[in-house]
Amino acid sequence: MKTFLTFLVMVLLAIGFFMTSSSEAADKPIVLKLAETHPQDYPTTKGDYEFARLVKERTNGRIIVEVYHSKQLGEERAVIEQVQLGAIDMTRVSISAVSSFVRDLDAFQLPYLYRDAAHMWKVLNGPIGAEIFKKHEPFNFVGVGWFEAGSRNFYTKKQVKTVSDLKGMKIRVQQAPLMVGMVEALGAVATPLPFGEVYSALQTGVVDGAENNWPSYLSTSHYEVAKYLITDEHTRIPEITVGSKKVFDKLSKEDRAIILKAAKDAVPYQIKLWNDFEKVAEKAVREKGSVITEVTPKEKTKFMDAMKPLYDKQPAEILAVANKIRNVK
Ligand code: GTR
């Protein structure tokens, strides 16, 4: 009898132990690390936080997206490699940064491709956008969501008034073959560098200029070391949140859907912040002494014409997608 009682107590204890540990496991949230290059108060980072808030709310805290802003986890290229390996769960980057892995993205970042932001969003939210998300999977990525990033302008240490003024200038570009090709099409010397190295490259004269949107021109303080900006608006490059396929494959179908939906629902908030900050940034750099050259429509046409050799070099599949994009009305 005594042995039986001891046995019973042990069984009950064991059941108790397993119940606690399994419920503890169930209580422990799934933590997904998201890497972001921008500072905490930048519109894109705030968009990441909104995405994280929605994921937490909709999973009752079962899934937590932790945002690591300000390059805490590294520069974009290194981070993307880590996402591919599954060491970092997600990252918000420019599609340029991913395009050296997913080359099909080139069709989405060609110069003078979209008529305006509304056109770009129609493309991203439609079947063409869904298709390119699918094309991330063979490279071990999951397309999670898009964010707004406005349009990009050249800014230089010496004033550029016409497209031909760019000839021979050393221009920093993102580490992406298409961006190298774009600057070369203009007769300039492309210098691919990580984002965080651009300020000192401009300061020390390693490069004569760079290109980015108004918010980044301000937040990086590049305006201090390259005070001439020309409003040529050569590209409109969406931001993307990419996930690690290795990590996403371990999530349930339902959780994946919640995450993707949260990324979509965070977009209007991010666009609103973006549009407001774009104006603030433009005003701020003007006040801080940047010299802004407004391109005339005629000069803009010259910029567009100068990009033609870049289009001519693109593979037929890229041009086919670019044409589909142009035809979205
Ligand atoms: C910014 C973008 C960053 C980064 C950067 C760059 O506009 O938000 O993710 O790609 O440009 O030029 O490297």
CB of 99 closer than 6 angstroms to any ligand 1 atom: no
> Tell me: the pLDDT tens digits for 153-196?
999 999 999 999 999 999 999 999 999 999 999 999 999 999 99
Token couple for 169: 């200038």
Could you tell me the distance, in angstroms and rounded to a whole number, from the CA of residue 287 to the centre of ligand 1?
A: 23
CB of 174 closer than 6 angstroms to any ligand 1 atom: yes
CA distance 160 to 169: 10
3-class secondary structure for 282-316? Answer: HHHHHHCCCEEECCCHHHHHHHHHHCHHHHHHCCH
Query: Which is nearest to 141 in space by CA: 56, 246, 275?
Result: 246
CB of 212 closer than 6 angstroms to any ligand 1 atom: yes
Task: Output the residue whose Cα is nearest ligand 1's atom 5.
Answer: 195
> Tell me: the pLDDT tens digits for 183-232?
999 999 999 999 999 999 999 999 999 999 999 999 999 999 999 999 99
- Per-residue confidence (pLDDT) for residue 208, from 0 to 100: 98
> Which ligand 1 atom is at minimum distance from the Cα of 216?
7
